């Protein structure tokens, strides 16, 4: 059995009932075969892959909190400190009822490679809780965030582990968590990113993942003699990533015609009204079903369906495994040119393979959505310097990072004979850097 197959079998055996984690490891290790097979003897002796797939540390804790009626609830909190070979652990906090160790491990594992691809000194980590922020009052959100941080603070710090936002964790939640960390530790330090601008946050961080997705998409299209101008784009999601990728896509001349949340989706043939979307999601924190109140010509449908709309470019920006094989077939039948992942692992393995086999340019999330964590790292730099950079300065750095990232994964794919396969390119480029740092630091 090859070394990769041996480690894959071990991962499945040692981590039962964690299908998303198996899926992420399988996708990465399979695409690393050319690099592993070239050094198989040495990597096997050094157990490099076993060290890569096993987190350095994983923490689970109790999060008790009191609701507005005086009822106590208990959620589980998680932090997986996956790999610190190239810098402090860095990765978001997901608050969603589906969260468990398998989900956090899949996200943390992906984060190792994504963070390496940014070219910045950040290791991989991820955290979260099965707490559901939907329908909670501000006070309940604060109670949860304070309880969550009153345990997590023991394990994090500006030079050890720097969490950020993810699904369910936005500026409000980061604010409550930061306040509690400061109170408990008695230090004001850049322990979280995605902070408000009044207390150490970075300009562009809110927009960064969505903007970055469009910057890398633009660069890829440019290298294929195409552009975003007048392209029809379908987007899933209506959260942080989706909102700002719609904003940047519109600025770059594309027409975005869909968005979605977990209850339904909107098709607006005249182009999504961004002001309405922000009002619904950022101000009212409401469901997309009320979008029609703003735009009577738009359609609202319950359930899922954005991939059925004819488009040039598809940007999945909601959650994992939301673009399935049948969706990929429909997109291809409708003539899609590119699929670029804003979310983490939104496309299943079969759907990815189908898109690639049918000549669709496919940018995987670990490259395409790296703008968020890259800008988080820029926030860390500003906090360390105790300086605040302008919007233009951060935005220019983000553009530079995403452009370099595209060429980095493109070159890695070419180097190993997989030209145009950005999944392989991203995994190989990220792996080469992390593996070299791990080898240099000995068996730790
Ligand atoms: P948000 O919580 O802001 O938005 C998530 C969106 O996806 C919401 O519209 C939500 O709908 C929808 N959604 C969530 N879960 C499901 C589900 N199970 N089925 C259908 N729709 C769902 O999160 P973000 O925008 O921050 O994150 C979106 C994705 O991007 C995630 O995969 C995240 O890991 C990834 N990402 C985020 C980064 C960031 O900087 N924020 C950085 C890199 C990646 P509803 O409100 O109804 O739940």
301: left (phi over 0), alpha (psi -120 to 50) or beta: beta
409 CB-near residues (< 8 Å, 6+ apart): 117, 367, 422, 425, 426, 429
CA 358 to chain centre: 25
* CATH number of the domain within which 151 lies: 3.40.50.10860
Q: Considering the candidates 90, 105, 114, 126, report the single residue annotated as catalytic.
A: 126
* CATH number of the domain within which 264 lies: 3.40.50.720
pLDDT tens figures, 217-235: 999 999 999 999 999 999 9
Whether 126 is catalytic:
yes
* 236 shares its domain with 282: yes
* 346 shares its domain with 269: yes
Atom of ligand 1 nearest to the CA of 98: 18
Structural domains counted in the chain: 2
Residue ending a domain, among 320, 343, 368, is 368
Residue 369's nearest CA partner among 418, 332, 319, 437 is 319
For the chain, the maximum distance between any two Cα atoms, rounded to a whole number of angstroms, is: 64
Q: What is the pLDDT of residue 55?
A: 98
Give 236 Cα–ligand 1 centroid separation in angstroms: 9
Atom 34 of ligand 1: nearest residue by CA position: 344
Query: Token pair 């690099």 is at which residue?
Result: 35
Residue 165, ligand 1, Cβ within 6 A: yes
Q: What is the pTM of this model?
A: 0.96
* 185 shares its domain with 239: no
Atom 17 of ligand 1: nearest residue by CA position: 262
Residue ending a domain, among 342, 368, 394, is 368
Give 315 Cα–ligand 1 centroid separation in angstroms: 13
Residue ending a domain, among 189, 222, 239, is 189
**Is 402 domain-assigned?**
no
pLDDT tens figures, 35-75: 999 999 999 999 999 999 999 999 999 999 999 999 999 99
**Is 8 domain-assigned?**
no
Q: What is the pLDDT of residue 302?
A: 98
How large a percentage of the chain has pLDDT more than 90?
A: 100
pLDDT tens figures, 231-285: 999 999 999 999 999 999 999 999 999 999 999 999 999 999 999 999 999 999 9
Q: What is the pLDDT of residue 169?
A: 97
pLDDT tens figures, 361-389: 999 999 999 999 999 999 999 999 999 99
Give 167 Cα–ligand 1 centroid separation in angstroms: 4
**Is 430 domain-assigned?**
no
Overall average pLDDT of the 95-116 stretch: 98
Of the pLDDT bands very low, low, confident and very high (cuts 50, 70, 90), residue 317 is very high
* 131 shares its domain with 166: yes
Atom of ligand 1 nearest to the CA of 345: 32
* 226 shares its domain with 361: yes
Domain that holds residue 218: 208-368
């Amino acid at each position: 059995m090859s070394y990769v197959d041996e480690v894959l079998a071990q991962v499945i055996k040692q981590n039962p009932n964690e299908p998303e984690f198996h899926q992420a490891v399988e996708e990465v290790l399979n695409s690393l075969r050319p690099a592993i097979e070239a050094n198989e003897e040495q990597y096997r002796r050094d157990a490099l892959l076993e060290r890569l797939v096993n987190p350095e540390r994983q923490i689970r804790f109790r999060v008790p909190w009191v609701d507005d009626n005086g009822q106590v609830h208990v959620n589980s909190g998680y932090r997986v400190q996956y790999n610190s070979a190239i810098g402090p652990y860095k990765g978001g906090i997901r608050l969603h009822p589906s969260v468990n160790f398998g989900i956090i491990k899949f996200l943390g594992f992906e984060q190792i490679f994504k963070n390496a691809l940014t070219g910045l000194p950040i290791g991989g980590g991820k955290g979260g809780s099965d707490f559901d922020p939907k329908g909670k009052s501000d006070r309940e959100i604060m109670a949860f965030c304070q309880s969550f941080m009153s345990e997590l603070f023991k394990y994090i710090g500006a030079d050890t582990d720097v969490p950020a936002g993810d699904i369910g964790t936005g500026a409000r939640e980061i604010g409550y968590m930061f306040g509690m960390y400061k109170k408990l530790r008695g230090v004001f330090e850049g322990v979280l990113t995605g902070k408000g601008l009044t207390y150490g946050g970075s300009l562009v961080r809110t927009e960064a993942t969505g903007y970055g997705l469009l910057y890398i998409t633009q660069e890829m299209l440019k290298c294929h003699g195409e552009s975003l101008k007048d392209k029809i784009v379908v987007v899933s999601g209506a959260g942080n990533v989706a909102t700002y990728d719609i904003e940047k896509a519109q600025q770059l001349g594309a027409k975005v015609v869909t968005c979605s949340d977990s209850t339904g989706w909107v098709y607006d043939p005249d182009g999504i009204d961004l002001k309405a979307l922000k009002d619904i999601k950022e101000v009212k924190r409401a469901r997309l079903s009320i979008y029609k109140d703003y735009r009577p010509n738009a359609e609202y449908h319950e359930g899922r369906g954005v991939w059925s709309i004819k488009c040039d470019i598809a940007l999945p920006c909601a959650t994992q495994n939301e673009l399935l094989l049948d969706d990929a077939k429909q997109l291809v039948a409708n003539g899609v040119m590119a699929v670029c992942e804003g979310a983490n692992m939104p496309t299943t393995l079969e759907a990815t393979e189908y898109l690639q086999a049918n000549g669709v340019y496919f940018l995987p999330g670990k490259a395409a959505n790296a703008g968020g964590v890259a800008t988080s790292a820029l926030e860390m730099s500003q906090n360390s310097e105790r300086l605040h950079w302008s919007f233009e300065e951060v935005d220019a750095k983000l553009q530079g990072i995403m452009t370099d990232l595209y060429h980095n994964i493109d070159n890695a794919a070419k180097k190993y004979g997989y030209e145009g396969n950005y999944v392989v390119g991203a995994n190989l480029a990220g792996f080469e850097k992390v593996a070299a740092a791990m080898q240099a630091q000995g068996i730790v």
